[in-house]
Structure 1
């Protein structure tokens, strides 16, 4: 491994304050520190990672709080190399095959599909749903390979003015984007059976969106899984955030935990620092990694937010939320896959209900059984089960009272019986529940919208909050609330974009996005 670069000490080095030690904030801190800036990271929680932390629960159980797998590691690997480190040496990642098991509920019986990156085997799996659809697998892959190549330059640059939407790279990519189609609509050209289309489109849930509404660009999500792998991080995905913090500190960043920021300080429209713990911390630039909808009204004066005032933030379109169960269970489940996705027979109704603010009665859900591949996630003879159920965000009036929470816990436990998880209630040794209300109140996520602003065409590219925040100077955004959007690889890319803008604005060499 290369020696970690140590920036030369200069008392006049520009100072950047990063608000939040989530994945975007840590990536920005790594890049800016490696380029010689003085970087101070202020994190309100006692641990780094934000939603990418791992819960170390009593009894030896470990649970990822939010994301449970790692996708498309290229971008983060490049960020580590920019700091003289190697991601692969800092964390152990296991490529999964099968990537996950899909269970399609039917009237008489269920159908399963073990998604595999081996395309010949995947064709066999798809043929079990509809023999005609097997022929569409490789054309789908080839088309999305071209789509990603064409659209990658767009995802790697900032959109600072409206005319950027009509730049040459956008015009080249536009024919492959098919902006008038949804993900499901675009997949109809390759696959006849709705279950096959769902196998290649449920990934829009990573953005908290419906495949029947999500723009067709996002067919690249399932392509990335098959082309570049679905990885489990041994010990939990929080290991990645811990490694990022470790490397950031090695290249000079000062990470202060348990230090909430109260407000960003402005001189006119220029951010000049923050107030944290009642103390002013001066800065040449401020990078905000806090959740956009929650933090912007609290930290940034409305007078400098003409495009994103409180009214617009309240009326913006947001992703769904999630109801979570983290269960430490005595006993093991030998037949249960590492990742299982139960797709309800009423999948489309589930989505319509969620969009209308109705909590689904017969929901689809996702279960992670990490100990299937990683024994460190549970003590011997035990299992750590992570259960996620998509539900409406808090904009629709559901308050998640104790009675609501208890009733939906019962619904979730009943539903996982479909996966062969039966008779567990008496064996639960640890339990944590997170509702949309908890996401909002405990984890500071605006409206409990777990996946941030929705990714429809009116809230993408230039129409999303800017990496250099619209109308201000010296304030930069990272995280799912800015361009390019949500999802770990995209957030890391967004951190590179924002760090590059910040460095350019200070007259320094920008961060490369292609290494």
Structure 2
């Protein structure tokens, strides 16, 4: 109906329903809307963002999840799709250095884009590894050019794509692990840690993740590390605005419980309220294991059966403590890694033994170092993130959360935040239970399927569903994987899989989704 109560014109555009409004879902909605589709995004929470949501508490603003932007051109492309400029809506600021690493003995390392400055850091910590660093930079770039520039936005639903990529994988030793590959360049345990921890940022175990992820070192140097002023929430709001600009719709508090299938084709979704929404295509940004086991639990599946989903290997989870202080810690940088006494043994506890260890390594985020607007005047906003086993560990987080948080507080007081206990004015935590219950992530995994060699590329759930025609997948659990560049690239892949609206209507003349 039109605003004056008269019958308005019928929207004849083909209809795409997007389940979930994380970065992958929002990016998919923008790209589909720009190509003429009518798009409806359905979000079960009360605001868009998914894992990239925002918490506001006692005058503080906390990014719930990702905090780092490493390939801003992928975000700029989304604004260009909508005929707009990113800079008109969101300010992206480059950070240099990228982050500081504090080793357990108090040694620190400044990590940034300047290779000469990094060489000076290596000369101070382990001068014998300087030649290895230069070789590492060279090989990281080689891997980046193949694994990122050529493969990250290429669909892998055909086995022949994997076969064509296999020679490069062998040549670049993608069959090895990140940690083993880094060991070829560095003898110092500190430098081996500093140059191999990056897979943890996307849910991977450096001891088992394919050496292709050594590309992250070059990705950081080529495109730099950036921060969205106002936090990731500002970026989410900007992307939501693009969807509105393209005449799309975002519905929050809309909990999808079922993907409707007829004659092997996705034809719409059913909400928890019982409402049915028809669609020409469905794009799921929900956790892939949840999509197949729950949203398609009624539908016979050949590849992603309940048994295979149960046997898959899932990423670690996260314990995140968000807190605000009544004082500012000017000596603490925007991004700081506060490492514990163990590295390989701790990774084994988290990923293999699935044991909650007494020690931990932390990522400390202090966004107010760059953007004081996220806290009241004279205050700081923080979050401290610790990788922990997923819920397959059996840890009872209803009883363990507070002791674990208190241990993190003690560690921070002893290292980089003296007097923290007296300075805290607001606090909240996120545990693996939140990933399971709030974000519907199977096993409470923070990054969906673990990015191992045989859970990557063709072996990962495909962007075009193998089970149902006209169902597409975006987000951390599908190709190319987790991380902001990965999930946004998964949406970019849809441009190669889904025709634009006009071509779709020619190929599918029967009315649908209206």
The answer, yes or no, to whether TM exceeds 0.5 is: yes
What stretches of structure 1 of length at least 5 have no aligned partner? 1-8, 510-515
Q: Which residue of 1 aligns with 2:254?
A: 259
8 A contact 1:274–1:282 mirrored in 2: yes
Aligned-residue RMSD, C-alpha: 1.8
Distance 1:378 1:265 in 2: 45
Deviations 1:258-306 (A, max 9, x none): 1111211000210001112312111100000111223432211353422
1:385 pairs with 2:367: no
Q: Which residue of 1 aligns with 2:222?
A: 227
Q: Which residue of 2 aligns with 1:102?
A: 101
Q: TM-score, normalised by structure 1?
A: 0.92
8 A contact 2:144–2:216 mirrored in 1: no
Distance 2:141 2:87 in 1: 25
8 A contact 1:54–1:65 mirrored in 2: yes
Give 3-state SS (helix, strand or coil) of 1:273's partner: strand
Distance 1:424 1:393 in 2: 28
Distance 2:418 2:349 in 1: 27
Distance 1:499 1:51 in 2: 24
8 A contact 2:35–2:501 mirrored in 1: no
8 A contact 2:35–2:500 mirrored in 1: no
Distance 1:134 1:377 in 2: 40
**1:405 CA drift (Å):** 1.3
**1:137 CA drift (Å):** 3.0
Q: Which residue of 2 aligns with 1:21?
A: 21
Counterpart pick for 1:203 among 198, 206, 209: 198
Deviates more, 1:32-41 or 1:192-201: 192-201
Counterpart pick for 1:272 among 267, 272, 275: 267
Distance 2:207 2:345 in 1: 12
Distance 1:113 1:263 in 2: 49
8 A contact 2:144–2:218 mirrored in 1: no
1:163 pairs with 2:160: yes
Counterpart pick for 1:289 among 261, 285, 291: 285
1:118 pairs with 2:118: no
Q: Which residue of 2 aligns with 1:501?
A: 497
Deviations 1:52-92 (A, max 9, x none): 1222222x211110111211112121122121122233211
**1:315 CA drift (Å):** 1.2
**1:10 CA drift (Å):** 7.4
**Relative to structure 1, is the Cα distance of residues 486 and 506 closer, same or farther in structure 2, using a 3 angstrom cutoff?**
farther
Count of equivalent residues: 494
Distance 2:302 2:220 in 1: 39
8 A contact 1:274–1:280 mirrored in 2: yes
8 A contact 1:101–1:113 mirrored in 2: yes
What stretches of structure 2 of length at least 5 have no aligned partner? 1-8, 506-514
Q: Which residue of 2 aligns with 1:190?
A: 185
8 A contact 2:140–2:217 mirrored in 1: no
**Relative to structure 1, is the Cα distance of residues 141 and 56 closer, same or farther in structure 2, using a 3 angstrom cutoff?**
same
**1:146 CA drift (Å):** 2.3
Deviations 1:205-241 (A, max 9, x none): 0122221211100001122112211111111111111
8 A contact 1:302–1:309 mirrored in 2: no
Q: Which residue of 1 aligns with 2:363?
A: 366
Deviations 1:129-149 (A, max 9, x none): 111222333332232222222
Deviates more, 1:492-501 or 1:61-70: 492-501
Distance 2:135 2:87 in 1: 32
Give 3-state SS (helix, strand or coil) of 1:353's partner: helix
The equivalences for 1:13-52 within 5 A come to 13-52=13-52
Deviates more, 1:392-401 or 1:22-31: 392-401
**Relative to structure 1, is the Cα distance of residues 505 and 35 closer, same or farther in structure 2, using a 3 angstrom cutoff?**
closer
Deviates more, 1:93-102 or 1:303-312: 303-312
Distance 1:95 1:136 in 2: 28
Distance 1:329 1:133 in 2: 40
The equivalences for 1:329-340 within 5 A come to 329-340=325-336
Counterpart pick for 1:149 among 145, 149, 159: 145
Give 3-state SS (helix, strand or coil) of 1:71's partner: coil
Q: Which residue of 1 aligns with 2:173?
A: 178
Give 3-state SS (helix, strand or coil) of 2:498's partner: helix
8 A contact 1:16–1:285 mirrored in 2: yes
Q: Which residue of 2 aligns with 1:67?
A: 66
The equivalences for 1:336-415 within 5 A come to 336-355=332-351, 356-401=353-398, 403-415=399-411
